[in-house]
Chains A and B, each alone.
Chain A
Amino acid sequence: MLKKLFMLIVAGFFLVSCAATNTEQGGDVDAASASSSSSSGGEITAGTQEDLIVNVGDRVFFEFDSSELTVDAQATLDAQAAWLMQYPDTNITIEGHADERGTREYNLALGDKRAFSVYSYLAQAGIDTNRMEYVSWGKERPEVIGSDETAYSQNRRGVTTVSN
């Protein structure tokens, strides 16, 4: 319960900082770290989802209709790989998401490709594939509600979630 509450707070700050900075690319990492300094204040348990969100960055963003990892995305995933090495008992599920400007079915396929891009990057970085699963949510679970590019750029994402 507490965990959920905490995540909501972090997510809230995340949204606010994104809206304020309105960065097109790599805004995720900046926003996440920005919120960590302002919101944390308390104890973050190492190796948890909160730790990943606040201190590493749990997500990468994609260009329209693309599942290729940008330079920023690769930097985030390098940090995720290092973090996963540090906590070898941590298993993850990678979620692939799309913005709303495609058909439901095409976006399911695209979300799967995005999740897999993250998955295979982490695998190449040395993370055991037994620790990782991936799933596409297509356009079904937007992070930011809205019908404009600001929302879409935040919704075309791959999100790493701690599953144990």
Chain B
Amino acid sequence: MHSIRNMFMIKKILIFLFISLNANAALEVTIAQGKVEPTPIAITQIFGADSDTARYGNTLRQIISNNLTNSGLFYTVNEDLYIQSENLVEKVPRFEDWKLIKAQFLLSADVSKIDKGIRLRMRLYDVFNAKEIEKLQLTIPDENLIRRVGHTVSDIVYERITGETGYFDTRIVYVSEVGPLDQRVKRLAIMDQDGHLDSHQFLTDGKNLVLTPRFAPNNQIITYMEYKNNLPRVYIYNLKTGEREIVGDFPGMTFAPRFSPDSQSVVMSFSDPNTANSEIYLMDLNTRALSRLTNDSGIDTSPSFSPNGEKIVFNSDRGGSPQLFIMDKNGGNIKRISKGKGVYGNPVWSPRGDLIAFTKLTQGNFHIGVMDINGNNERVIVRDFSLESPAWSPNGRYLIFHRQKRSNLDGTGGEVTLHFIDITGYNERVIPTPRDGSDPAWSPLL
């Protein structure tokens, strides 16, 4: 818990110590749909005067380079090609040298020890226009925050060059899985979005089955489902305090929780113990007031709010097979939106508001796709035997999900892994986890 608390301190620290010395307008790089040619960026050595700061510099360079490359929008020009090798934080680069090796942008930085901790200075240059486009320095109290600095710098570079909001200084909560498939031990775990092992932490001990964690959009709170005393119920987990709390005192199963956009309410399914029929309810976390949103003899589950809080998309088999529906926030005006053949599930509204991600089972395979909010323009992003649990990056450009292999009667197979993909369908990557992983969800920017 101690290190978690530390992680939260950094937000304030970064805000207070950011000294952005330059405020040019962001360079707009329009990103149309389809395959994007990654933009070449050169990242000089991140210079440090002693062995500690040189080590921090190496770590930082690696984090920044990995982040930018993994986004699919950049690639780091091979260091061996660099003609100019000096620190370019205080010195104007020889742009011709960088043009020659086709670097479109150039990042240089250095790290030093100062009285109050560790200081990073950074410069970002537009090589082709031969000008500086970002200049900043930031200070952290100790090296525990180095990874966050790397993610923050990555976000700044990403934002300055693409004009989109970054997503690197974020975390992923997911379910870590281990053991035989019929007695799986599942634990909540959390890590930086890049899955780096140094950032990985377990949040629960594996004693109780836990499923489907989701982040609040505005704070460091998670909602999830846990089988405590074999009673499946929805809980919230406050990452700042470590407190866990049941959401409401329901006589039957509660499941499929998600936060409202203001993070003040949880929308979820409740299975009436007198009928075992699942309906969608909204619970205000402050007043504990409960409102029922659906009323139908079919299964109603997997609700997900639109980012403006006006609508909810959900999964229902009211028409026979499971399909996607949209309703007003109070449950009115229900309309089916899924139009294709197949069994739909897991609808998740994009943080940009314009798309809904979903899973679809058809012809023996699962598909993860996106559609407009009226169900038009459905397109498949990835297809495989078993795919589930799409979740959006906070900037709405990427999805994470899990993929499970077929299992066999002898107990082999069934490996389940976390994946990242651009919604264009390109640039799929595995997010490394120490054990198997499922049900990923993305935090807001820290």
Are chains A and B native binding partners rather than an unrelated pairing? yes
Residues of A participating in the B interface, judged by any CB pair closer than 8 Å: 19, 65, 93, 100-106, 108-110, 112-113, 115-117, 119, 134-136, 138, 140-147, 150-151
Q: Give B402-435 as 1s and 0s: 1 = Cβ < 8 Å from A's Cβ atoms.
A: 0010111111011000000000000000000000
A138–B276 alpha-carbon span in the complex (Å): 13
Contact B408 A146 (CB under 8 A): yes
Contact A112 B407 (CB under 8 A): no
Contact B321 A65 (CB under 8 A): yes
| A59 to B: closest C-beta gap in Å | 14
| B91 to A: closest C-beta gap in Å | 55
Contact partner, B299, options A19, A93, A113, A134, Cβ 8 Å: A113
A106–B302 alpha-carbon span in the complex (Å): 8
In the complex, what residue of chain A is closest to B402 when comparing beta carbons? A104
A144–B182 alpha-carbon span in the complex (Å): 7
Contact A102 B409 (CB under 8 A): no
Contact B302 A105 (CB under 8 A): yes
B277 contacts chain A at the CB level, 8 A cutoff? yes
Contact partner, B180, options A105, A113, A145, Cβ 8 Å: A145
Contact B269 A101 (CB under 8 A): no
| B355 to A: closest C-beta gap in Å | 19
B223 contacts chain A at the CB level, 8 A cutoff? no
Contact A109 B211 (CB under 8 A): no
Contact B255 A105 (CB under 8 A): yes
In the complex, what residue of chain A is closest to B389 when comparing beta carbons? A104
Contact B275 A116 (CB under 8 A): yes
Contact partner, B269, options A93, A105, A145, Cβ 8 Å: A105
Contact B269 A109 (CB under 8 A): yes
Q: Given A108-B255, A136-B271, are A115 and B276 neighbors across the interface (CB < 8 Å)?
A: yes
Which residues of chain B come closer than 8 Å to A116, judged between CB atoms? 275-276
B157 contacts chain A at the CB level, 8 A cutoff? no
Which residues of chain A come closer than 8 Å to B231, judged between CB atoms? 135
Range class of the B interface residue count: 35 or more
Contact A104 B343 (CB under 8 A): no
B183 contacts chain A at the CB level, 8 A cutoff? yes
A50–B2 alpha-carbon span in the complex (Å): 48
| A58 to B: closest C-beta gap in Å | 16
B8 contacts chain A at the CB level, 8 A cutoff? no
Residues 46-82 (chain B) with a chain A CB within 8 angstroms: none
Contact B276 A140 (CB under 8 A): no
B110 contacts chain A at the CB level, 8 A cutoff? no
Contact partner, A104, options B212, B361, B409, Cβ 8 Å: B212
Contact partner, A142, options B181, B276, B386, B439, Cβ 8 Å: B181
Which residues of chain B come closer than 8 Å to A93, judged between CB atoms? 230
| B393 to A: closest C-beta gap in Å | 21
A104–B343 alpha-carbon span in the complex (Å): 13
Contact B408 A145 (CB under 8 A): yes
Q: Given A141-B183, A145-B182, A147-B413, are A108 and B253 neighbors across the interface (CB < 8 Å)?
A: yes
Q: Given A112-B278, A113-B277, are A136 and B253 neighbors across the interface (CB < 8 Å)?
A: yes
Assuming A108-B211, A147-B407, what are 9 further A-B pairs, CB within 8 angstroms?
Answer: A65-B343, A103-B345, A104-B212, A108-B269, A141-B183, A145-B182, A145-B407, A145-B409, A147-B414
Name 25 A/B residue pairs within 8 A (Cβ), A-sorted: A102-B322, A103-B322, A103-B346, A105-B256, A105-B315, A105-B345, A105-B346, A106-B302, A106-B345, A108-B232, A109-B255, A109-B301, A112-B253, A112-B278, A116-B275, A135-B231, A135-B232, A142-B181, A145-B181, A145-B408, A145-B409, A146-B408, A147-B386, A147-B406, A151-B407
B193 contacts chain A at the CB level, 8 A cutoff? no
Contact A103 B414 (CB under 8 A): no
A151–B409 alpha-carbon span in the complex (Å): 8
Among A19, A93, A136: residue with most chain B CB under 10 A? A136
In the complex, what residue of chain A is closest to B254 when comparing beta carbons? A108
Residues 377-414 (chain B) with a chain A CB within 8 angstroms: 385-386, 388-389, 404, 406-411, 413-414
Q: Given A105-B255, A143-B182, A151-B409, are A112 and B211 neighbors across the interface (CB < 8 Å)?
A: no
Contact A144 B253 (CB under 8 A): no
B176 contacts chain A at the CB level, 8 A cutoff? no
B288 contacts chain A at the CB level, 8 A cutoff? no
Contact B361 A106 (CB under 8 A): no
Which residues of chain A come closer than 8 Å to B439, judged between CB atoms? 104
Instruction: Return the 6 tightest CB-CB contacts between A and B, nearest first.
Output: A116-B276, A103-B345, A147-B406, A109-B278, A105-B256, A109-B299
| A152 to B: closest C-beta gap in Å | 11
Contact B278 A103 (CB under 8 A): no
A33–B301 alpha-carbon span in the complex (Å): 39
Q: Given A19-B409, A105-B255, are A145 and B414 neighbors across the interface (CB < 8 Å)?
A: yes
B359 contacts chain A at the CB level, 8 A cutoff? yes
| B297 to A: closest C-beta gap in Å | 10
